[in-house]
Structure 1
């Protein structure tokens, strides 16, 4: 009889743990191919640093799973602690939103090989980054031309500063238009805050006023509204 009671108690404890684990409106599952030992941390941005919201220990099985509660779509970070193996390729940002998400990647190329599904904001953010990388490449190429001219004591092309300015303007205009075209997704205020926070206030105000009510009430929507109000107070 005691054995039966003990078994039932054990099952109850296991059941409670599983029920606790399954709470939340965001379910993340995935795999880090090649990872047999290490720790995964899901983090979010706090006041000034990243803070962990879940810890997943990997021991032999490279699959992982997490259940979280988020108030609205937001950028989260999947950080890999490789243990004895050090690498700078250990942090993966992803735009989380309520529902089911999947993150599959590899130990060898944790960031580059990541495939993330289940979030419309993530898909839009990936499209955005793909185009933005072209502007970054152009800027790096122009900077390299200037450095080479200095290195070999040559005069840099006379139009290099003009090209650089044009590239920056195009980058800002693209970010602004992308945010306006995706005003019904939380990626819009996020881009405004992360990439073009120093843009002319009228452009940020336009993005802010274009947001749908749902996006305006999201984490980044509220942050953008407050940021614009603060800038206006100091006359920027």
Structure 2
């Protein structure tokens, strides 16, 4: 009788904790990983440059998952799928989450490539940004390969020319990123791309965007981090 009572008590406590988690959460994340029968989905986020576990979901016999999370403002989440295969490559992706209801649909075979995320405007904009940035990344990789080849052949004039070309490409990319951030200053993706992709850009360009941010962006996670970064750089450059 006593064992039954304590078993029931533990069950009630477990249900209570689950309900508390759902009540406190402001992000309801659901999804489907077509073809997955068994595995573990890890949801993480960056805190002080360190990946912190937010939730882990064991999947056994079904391809759907659900998570109730609490976030202070829209932020990037890192999803890692442990398929139980040591040499698995396509098993991780970034999702720009925001409060509300979000859905993630993907497949086991192409976890990253086939993903479709709904319920987040910031994620939609982030995908647009990646399309804008991708050609610059590809061109830069091509120039690096040419530079390495020319360096091995000791073609110094060619190397110098390629270095200048890379510098010009970087300036073009920075201006494109800053323009994207300016055009989307009402969304948290704006300080995110400035902070992580053009953190070393000229301060006057960073200021030109951040000074136009509405209060909700200034007080968001990435808005505050970007301001801290700018203040640190300004202090270093004044010394």
What's the CA shift for 1:167?
1.1
**Native 8 Å contact 2:178 2:194 kept in 1:** yes
Matches within 5 A, 1:193-208: 193-208=195-210
What's the CA shift for 1:229?
1.3
Which consecutive residues of structure 1, in runs of 5 or more, have no partner in the other structure?
none
* Match in the other structure for 1:209: 211
* Match in the other structure for 1:99: 100
What's the CA shift for 1:10?
9.8
TM-score normalised to structure 1 length? 0.88
Task: Return structure 1 stretches of 4+ with deviation > 4 angstroms.
Answer: 8-15, 150-155
Q: What's the RMSD between the two structures over aligned residues?
A: 2.5
What's the CA shift for 1:163?
2.4
* Match in the other structure for 1:83: 84
SS of residue in 1 equivalent to 2:211:
helix
TM-score normalised to structure 2 length? 0.87
What's the CA shift for 1:22?
2.6
Alignment CA distance shift 1:156-1:232 (3 Å): closer
What's the CA shift for 1:19?
2.4
Any idea what the Cα deviations from partners look like across 1:19-70, whole Å, max 9, x if unmatched? 2353311011111112111111110112232111111000010100101011
* Match in the other structure for 2:116: 115
Q: Which one has a larger percent helix, Structure 1 or Structure 2? A: 2
State the distance in 2 between where 1:183 and 1:193 align.
Answer: 13
State the distance in 2 between where 1:44 and 1:175 align.
Answer: 23
Which consecutive residues of structure 2, in runs of 5 or more, have no partner in the other structure?
none
Aligned pair count reads 231
